[in-house]
C-alpha cells in the first residue's frame, strides 16, 4: 500500500491556473445551466468518465466540449517562482521572470468540433493520437509536440481532427462504451471501438489515407456471432436500417466495457478482446487482429513452440477428443501462414527497434469464434441487490511470458518487454467491477486460445454441440463501497498502477480505492510450480484468506452525486513525485504518495560528486487529510434572474408589474419561483452546515495536534533529563545524552555476555537426543573402524576380506618374501648343481616386482591408518 503524504497541493487549488484548467468557464456554466431540467438535475445516462489523458508530465482534460492542455511541471514551477518573488519583493508580478505573462505558458485551451460533452479521452500508445469520445461519436485528434502547444498566447487553439465513422458512430445509432488502441497495432494506429449493441469494429488509421477514418477494416456483430455455427455466415454489423425492436439478445448482450491485456503478456492474450456485458456475462474474442499487426519479439516464437508441443502431445493420445485435435490443426494452419510470411520492417518510435509487420492470416478465417459466456466456478450466491450483478468495467491481467522455456537450447538471451512478465502468475486474472462496488477476482485456469468456427462443409461442425462452455474460477470477491454510497448511477472504473500490473485503483462516483494482488500472486505461482506436499492446503488458505490489499485512499461526500470523480490517472516524475490525479466538474483532486526506496537509491547513484544534499525533511506528526474546499454552491449563480427573464417574455409578463392577486397564474409563478429558491436555499444551507462542521472539526484536530506536540516535547525532555531538575544542570544536554547512550551500550554489552554464558550452560546441561543424521554418522564411523582395526571379533562372512586381515596377510607375505630374497642372494654362488644357472636380469626383475608389490601394500596400509586417525580426531 503506497503511503499517502498529502492531498491536492496549493498549485492545483484556487485561484491558480492549475485549478482553472479543470473547471468550465463562465460561458460554459451559463450554457450548461440552460440544459438543467425542472428538477435541477441532468438526466444523463450512467457510463464511464475518463476525462484525463496523460503524456509524460502533460495532461489533457475534457471540460464540457473543450479540452484543456497543461504541463504540470511548468504549473508547479510557475507557482513556486511566484511564491518566491512574493516573499522577496512583496509583488506578485515580475516581467523579467520566465514564468511571466509575456513568456510562454504551460496551459492551453483546445477547441473541438464535438456536439456533446466529452466523456472519454484515450491516448494512443505512441502518444501521437487522441481519441475523443462522446456518448455516440468518436473524433481522432493529431497531437503536436509539446513545443507547439507551449506558447505565450494562452488563447484557444484547434487541432487537426478526423471524425471516425461519420455514418457509423452517430447519434441515431447505439452509444459507444469503449475505445481501445489495439496492443498489436502498427505503431499504435489501430483503434477498436465497442458499442452498446455488442458490435466490435477495427479501425486501422492512417493520415495519408482519409478513407481509413470512414470505414472499419473489420466489423463483427457479437449477437450474430454468438448464434453462429459456420464461418460462411455473415457476421458483419447491420446498417442504419437495422431493427431497433426489443429482443433477449439486445438486453442480455448490452456491453458495459471491454479491454485487451497488456502487449507483453504471454500466450494469446495480446490478441484477445474481453467483453463484459452489463447483465453479468463475460465473453472473449480471440484472435482479434487488424489486417497488419506488429507483434512483440516473444509472441510469435512462444505461440509456435506451444502449438507444436500441443500437437505432438495430443496427436497419438486416444483420450483427447477429436474436437481438440481439429482445433490444434486450425491453430497450426494459422501459425503456418505467419511462418510463410517475410515480415516487413518499419521505423518505430524514437528509441525503439524497427517493428516487424505481418499480415493477418487468411486461414482458418479472419473472424474468430466468440467464446462464452463464461461460467463462474465457486461464485457467491446471488445477491438481493440487483446492482451486484450489473457490471461496469473489466480489467484483465495476462499470464507471464516463460522466458526460460522459450529460450531453452538457444544461445542468445531474450529481453522481455515488461519487468513483471518473468515474475508473475502463469495464468490470466480477470477482474470485474459492479455498480454496487463489488470487485470479483477470477482466475483463467484453462487459458483462452484461438478458436474459429468451422466451414459449412467441414467435419468439425459435428463437434460444436458437444463442447463445454469455458469457465473462470472465482478466487475472491471484495466490496469497495459502504451501504450509504451505493446508488444506481454509480460506475466504478479501473486505473492501472505504475509499479506493478498486479495492482490497480478503482474510482467510483465518490471514492478511490487501492487494490493489490501481489501478496498472493507470487505465492500462488510458487505453489503451482513446485507442487510440494501440502500444496492443496496452502492454496485453500490463500483463497479463503483476505490476502488482497484493499485500502480507501480518498472519499468525498456520498450524497453529492452531481460531482462524480473521473477515472484516476497515475503520474510519476522526478519533478512532480508520485501522485494520483482525478477531477470533478468543480476542480482537480490529487493524492501524493511516498516514492519507493529504490527510487531514492537511483537518485543518489546518479548525483554528481559536487551535489549539495538537501536537508532532511522534518518528522510528520500528523495524518494527511484533504484540504477543505468551499462548496461549489457558494459560487453558483442564482437561476432566479433567468426565470424572471423567461417570465418577461411569456404570457405572464403583465403580472410582474401589477399587484399580487390570488389567481391561478400567480400560483403558477409562485410555484416555479419556489422550486428554484427552495433548491438553491437547500444547497446553500447544506454547504453552510458542512462549513460549520469543518470549523468544529478543525478545532478538534488543532487540539489533537497540540496534544501530540506536547507529548513529543515531554518525551524529549525526559530523554534530555531537564524535566525534573529544579536547579541549574551540572552537565549540558549533550553530555547527558552521551552519558545515557554510553550507559545503554554498557548495559547491552553485559546482557550479551550473560546470554552467551547461559547458552554455554544450557548446551552442557541439556542431554538431547541424537538426530537421524548424527546416528547415521556414528554408524558409519563404527563400520570404518571395524574394517580397519582388529577387535578380536570374528570376521563377517562375505566374499572379500576386511582391510585389517589383508594388512596382516601383507605383513606375513612381506616377511616371507624377505626371507626368500635372502636365500636367493645366498644361492647365487654355484654349490651343488653347477649345471643350473639363472640369469641375473631375471633375478633383478623378480626382485623389483616383489619390491613394487611391497611398496604398494605399504601405501595402502598407511592410507587406511591415516584415515582412521582423522576419523578418531573428528
Is 830 contained in some domain? Answer: yes
- Give me 255's grid cell: 456491453
- Check residue 697 and give its pLDDT: 87
Prediction pTM value: 0.76
Arithmetic mean of pLDDT, 416-444: 81
Q: Beta-carbon neighbour count of residue 600 at 10 Å? A: 10
The pLDDT of residue 408 is above 60? no
Radius of gyration of the chain (CA): 41
**From start to end of 225-325, where are the E strands?**
255-259, 273-277, 282-285, 292-293
Arithmetic mean of pLDDT, 466-479: 85
Handedness of CA 797, 798, 800, 804 (dihedral sign): negative
811 upstream amide cis, omega within 30 of 0: no
Percent of the chain with pLDDT over 90: 31
Which secondary structure element, helix H or strand E, spans residue 110, and what is its range?
Answer: strand 107-111
Is 650 contained in some domain? Answer: yes
Residue matched to cell numbers 474481453: 274
Where is the domain boundary, 694, 719, 744? 719
Is 466 contained in some domain? Answer: no
Report the C-alpha gap between 513 and 511 in whole angstroms.
7
- Check residue 837 and give its pLDDT: 64
CA distances from 815 to 125, 544, 727, 821, 864 (A): 93, 81, 100, 10, 21
The pLDDT of residue 36 is above 60? no
CA distances from 732 to 722, 737, 746 (A): 10, 9, 21
Burial 275-309 (b: 16+ CB within 10 A, else e): bbbbebbbbbbbbbbbebbbbbebbbebbbebbee
Q: How many domains does the chain have?
A: 2
Q: What is the pLDDT of residues 479-498, one digit of tens each?
A: 999 888 888 889 999 999 98
Report the C-alpha gap between 520 and 562 in whole angstroms.
38
State the pLDDT confidence band at 617, using cuts at 50, 70 and 90: low
Is 838 contained in some domain? Answer: yes
Q: Beta-carbon neighbour count of residue 381 at 10 Å? A: 5
- Give me 513's grid cell: 480505492
What's 562's DSSP letter?
A: T
- Check residue 38 and give its pLDDT: 36
Instruction: Indicate the range of 125-139, 328-342, 540-554, 598-612 predicted with least confidence.
Output: 598-612
Which secondary structure element, helix H or strand E, spans residue 75, and what is its range?
Answer: helix 72-89
Which secondary structure element, helix H or strand E, spans residue 4, and what is its range?
Answer: strand 4-7
Report the C-alpha gap between 762 and 754 in whole angstroms.
12
Q: What is the pLDDT of residues 142-153, one digit of tens each?
A: 998 887 787 666
Q: What is the pLDDT of residues 810-855, one digit of tens each?
A: 888 888 888 888 888 776 655 544 555 677 788 888 888 888 888 8
Percent of the chain with pLDDT over 70: 82
Q: What is the pLDDT of residues 125-184, one digit of tens each?
A: 998 999 999 999 999 999 988 877 876 666 788 889 999 989 899 888 889 999 999 999
> Phi, psi (5° rounding) for residue 791?
-100, 10
Highest mean pLDDT among 283-292, 590-599, 781-790: 283-292
Which of 33, 116, 20 lies closest to 68, judged by CA?
20
- Check residue 594 and give its pLDDT: 86
Where is the domain boundary, 719, 742, 764? 719
DSSP per-residue string spanning 603-644: HHHHS-TTPPPPPPPPPP-S---PPP---GGGTSPPSHHHHH
Report the C-alpha gap between 484 and 501 in whole angstroms.
31
Mean pLDDT score across all residues of the chain: 82
Which secondary structure element, helix H or strand E, spans residue 593, and what is its range?
Answer: strand 587-593
Cα angle: 575, vertex 578, 583; to 5 degrees = 105
Which secondary structure element, helix H or strand E, spans residue 131, and what is its range?
Answer: strand 129-133
The pLDDT of residue 441 is above 90? yes
DSSP per-residue string spanning 800-844: SPPHHHHHHHHHHHHHHHHHHHHHHHHTTS--S-TT----HHHHH
- Give me 270's grid cell: 495480446
Q: Are 330 and 322 in contact (CB under 8 A)?
A: no
Handedness of CA 16, 18, 22, 28 (dihedral sign): positive
Q: Are 72 and 590 in contact (CB under 8 A)?
A: no
Burial 224-255 (b: 16+ CB within 10 A, else e): bbbebeebeeebebeeeeeeeeeeeebebbbb
Report the C-alpha gap between 79 and 344 in whole angstroms.
49
Q: Beta-carbon neighbour count of residue 526 at 10 Å? A: 13
CA atoms in the 13 A half-sphere facing the CB of 809: 7
Q: What is the pLDDT of residues 657-700, one digit of tens each?
A: 888 888 888 888 889 889 989 988 988 888 898 889 889 988 99
Residue matched to cell numbers 595402502: 860
Arithmetic mean of pLDDT, 762-784: 79
Cα angle: 135, vertex 141, 146; to 5 degrees = 130
* Phi-psi label, residue 372: left if phi above 0, alpha if psi -120 to 50, beta otherwise: left
Domain that holds residue 667: 640-719
Report the C-alpha gap between 189 and 291 in whole angstroms.
12
Is 862 contained in some domain? Answer: yes
Residue matched to cell numbers 576380506: 801
Query: H helices within 721-802, ranges in order?
Result: 733-765, 772-788
Which secondary structure element, helix H or strand E, spans residue 300, and what is its range?
Answer: helix 299-314
Handedness of CA 585, 590, 591, 597 (dihedral sign): positive
Is 790 contained in some domain? Answer: no
Is 702 contained in some domain? Answer: yes
Handedness of CA 26, 32, 37, 39 (dihedral sign): negative
Arithmetic mean of pLDDT, 568-596: 90
Handedness of CA 260, 261, 267, 270 (dihedral sign): positive
- Check residue 100 and give its pLDDT: 65
CA distances from 46 to 135, 300, 392, 420, 440 (A): 10, 40, 10, 35, 21
Is 821 contained in some domain? Answer: yes
Contacts (Cβ under 8 Å, ≥6 apart) of 243:
none
Arithmetic mean of pLDDT, 81-91: 77
Residue 359, SS3 per DSSP: strand
Where is the domain boundary, 719, 735, 758? 719
Report the C-alpha gap between 100 and 93 in whole angstroms.
7
Which secondary structure element, helix H or strand E, spans residue 554, and what is its range?
Answer: strand 549-555
Residue 747, SS3 per DSSP: helix
155 upstream amide cis, omega within 30 of 0: no
More confident residue, 164 or 605: 164
State the pLDDT confidence band at 765, using cuts at 50, 70 and 90: low
Amino acid at each position: 500500500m503506497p503511503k499517502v503524504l498529502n492531498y491536492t497541493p496549493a498549485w492545483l487549488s484556487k485561484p491558480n491556473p492549475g485549478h482553472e484548467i479543470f473547471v468550465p468557464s463562465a460561458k460554459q456554466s451559463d450554457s450548461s445551466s440552460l440544459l438543467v431540467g425542472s428538477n435541477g438535475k441532468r438526466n444523463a445516462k450512467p457510463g464511464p468518465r475518463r476525462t484525463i489523458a496523460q503524456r509524460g508530465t502533460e495532461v489533457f482534460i475534457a471540460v464540457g466540449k473543450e479540452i484543456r492542455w497543461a504541463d504540470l511541471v511548468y504549473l508547479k514551477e510557475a507557482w513556486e517562482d511566484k511564491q518566491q518573488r512574493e516573499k522577496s519583493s512583496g509583488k506578485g508580478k515580475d516581467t523579467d521572470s520566465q514564468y511571466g505573462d509575456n513568456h510562454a505558458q504551460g496551459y492551453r485551451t483546445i477547441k473541438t468540433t464535438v456536439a456533446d460533452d466529452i466523456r472519454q479521452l484515450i491516448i494512443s500508445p505512441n502518444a501521437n493520437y487522441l481519441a475523443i469520445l462522446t456518448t455516440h461519436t468518436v473524433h481522432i485528434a493529431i497531437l503536436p509536440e509539446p513545443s507547439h502547444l507551449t506558447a505565450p498566447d494562452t488563447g484557444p487553439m484547434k487541432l487537426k481532427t478526423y471524425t471516425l465513422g461519420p455514418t457509423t458512430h452517430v447519434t441515431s445509432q447505439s452509444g459507444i462504451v469503449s475505445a481501445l488502441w489495439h496492443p498489436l497495432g502498427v505503431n499504435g494506429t489501430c483503434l477498436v471501438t465497442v458499442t452498446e449493441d455488442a458490435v466490435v469494429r477495427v479501425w486501422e488509421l492512417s493520415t495519408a489515407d482519409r478513407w481509413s477514418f470512414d470505414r472499419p477494416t473489420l466489423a463483427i456483430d457479437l449477437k450474430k456471432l454468438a448464434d453462429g455455427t459456420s464461418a460462411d455466415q455473415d457476421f458483419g454489423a447491420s446498417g442504419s436500417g437495422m431493427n431497433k425492436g426489443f429482443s433477449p439478445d439486445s438486453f442480455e448482450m448490452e456491453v458495459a466495457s471491454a479491454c485487451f491485456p497488456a502487449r507483453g503478456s504471454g500466450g494469446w492474450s495480446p490478441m484477445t478482446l474481453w467483453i463484459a456485458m452489463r447483465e453479468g456475462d463475460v465473453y472473449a474474442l480471440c484472435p482479434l487482429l487488424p489486417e497488419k499487426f506488429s507483434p512483440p519479439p516473444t509472441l510469435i516464437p512462444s505461440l509456435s513452440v506451444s502449438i507444436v508441443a500441443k500437437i505432438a502431445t495430443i496427436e497419438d493420445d486416444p483420450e483427447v477428443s477429436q474436437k481438440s485435435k481439429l482445433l490444434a490443426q486450425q491453430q497450426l494452419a494459422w501459425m503456418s501462414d505467419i511462418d510463410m510470411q517475410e515480415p516487413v520492417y518499419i521505423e518505430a518510435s524514437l528509441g525503439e527497434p524497427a517493428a516487424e509487420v505481418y499480415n493477418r492470416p487468411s486461414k482458418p478465417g479472419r473472424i474468430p469464434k466468440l467464446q462464452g459466456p463464461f461460467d463462474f466456478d465457486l461464485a457467491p450466491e446471488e445477491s438481493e441487490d440487483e446492482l451486484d450483478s450489473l457490471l461496469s468495467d473489466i480489467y484483465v491481467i495476462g499470464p507471464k511470458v516463460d522466458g526460460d522455456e522459450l529460450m531453452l537450447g538457444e544461445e542468445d538471451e531474450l529481453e522481455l518487454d515488461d519487468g513483471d512478465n518473468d515474475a508473475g502468475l502463469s495464468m490470466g486474472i480477470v477482474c470485474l467491477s459492479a455498480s454496487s462496488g463489488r470487485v470479483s477476482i477470477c482466475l483463467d485456469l484453462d487459458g483462452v486460445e484461438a478458436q474459429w468456427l468451422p466451414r459449412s462443409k467441414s467435419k468439425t461442425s459435428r463437434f460444436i454441440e458437444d463442447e463445454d462452455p469455458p469457465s473462470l474460477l472465482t478466487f475472491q470477491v471484495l466490496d469497495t463501497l459502504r451501504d450509504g454510497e451505493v446508488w444506481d448511477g454509480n460506475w466504478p472504473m479501473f486505473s492501472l498502477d505504475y509499479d506493478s500490473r498486479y495492482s490497480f485503483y478503482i474510482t467510483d462516483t465518490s471514492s478511490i480505492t487501492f487494490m493489490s494482488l501481489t501478496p498472493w500472486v507470487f505465492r500462488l505461482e510458487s505453489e503451482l510450480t513446485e507442487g510440494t506436499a501440502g500444496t492443496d492446503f496452502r492454496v485453500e488458505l490463500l483463497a479463503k484468506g483476505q490476502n488482497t490489499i484493499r485500502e480507501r485512499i480518498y472519499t468525498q461526500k456520498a450524497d453529492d452525486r452531481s460531482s462524480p470523480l473521473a477515472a484516476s490517472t497515475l503520474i510519476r516524475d522526478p519533478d512532480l513525485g508520485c501522485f494520483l490525479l482525478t477531477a470533478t466538474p468543480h476542480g482537480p483532486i490529487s493524492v501524493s504518495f511516498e516514492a519507493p526506496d529504490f527510487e531514492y537509491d537511483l537518485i543518489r547513484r546518479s548525483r554528481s560528486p559536487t551535489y549539495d544534499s538537501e536537508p532532511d525533511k522534518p518528522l510528520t506528526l500528523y495524518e494527511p487529510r484533504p484540504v477543505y474546499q468551499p462548496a461549489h454552491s457558494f459560487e453558483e449563480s442564482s437561476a432566479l434572474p433567468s426565470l424572471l427573464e423567461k417570465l418577461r417574455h411569456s404570457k405572464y409578463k403583465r403580472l410582474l408589474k401589477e399587484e399580487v392577486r390570488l389567481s391561478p397564474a400567480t400560483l403558477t409563478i409562485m410555484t416555479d419561483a419556489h422550486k428554484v429558491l427552495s433548491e438553491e436555499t437547500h444547497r446553500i444551507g447544506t454547504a453552510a452546515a458542512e462549513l460549520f462542521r469543518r470549523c468544529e472539526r478543525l478545532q478538534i484536530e488543532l487540539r489533537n495536534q497540540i496534544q501530540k506536540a506536547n507529548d513529543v516535547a515531554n518525551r524529549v525532555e525526559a530523554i534530555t533529563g531537564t524535566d525534573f531538575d529544579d536547579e541549574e544542570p551540572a552537565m549540558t544536554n549533550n553530555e547527558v545524552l552521551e552519558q545515557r547512550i554510553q550507559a545503554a551500550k554498557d548495559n547491552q554489552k553485559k546482557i550479551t555476555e550473560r546470554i552467551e554464558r547461559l547458552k554455554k550452560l544450557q548446551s552442557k546441561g541439556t542431554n538431547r537426543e541424537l538426530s537421524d543424521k548424527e546416528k547415521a554418522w556414528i554408524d558409519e564411523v563404527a563400520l570404518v573402524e571395524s574394517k580397519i582395526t582388529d577387535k578380536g571379533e570374528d570376521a563377517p562372512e562375505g566374499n572379500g576380506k576386511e582391510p585389517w586381515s589383508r594388512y596382516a596377510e601383507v605383513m606375513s607375505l612381506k616377511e616371507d618374501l624377505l626371507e626368500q630374497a635372502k636365500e636367493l642372494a645366498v644361492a647365487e654362488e654355484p654349490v651343488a648343481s653347477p649345471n643350473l644357472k639363472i640369469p641375473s636380469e631375471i633375478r633383478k626383475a623378480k626382485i623389483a616386482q616383489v619390491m613394487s608389490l611391497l611398496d604398494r601394500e605399504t601405501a595402502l596400509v598407511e592410507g587406511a591408518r591415516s584415515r582412521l586417525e582423522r576419523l578418531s580426531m573428528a
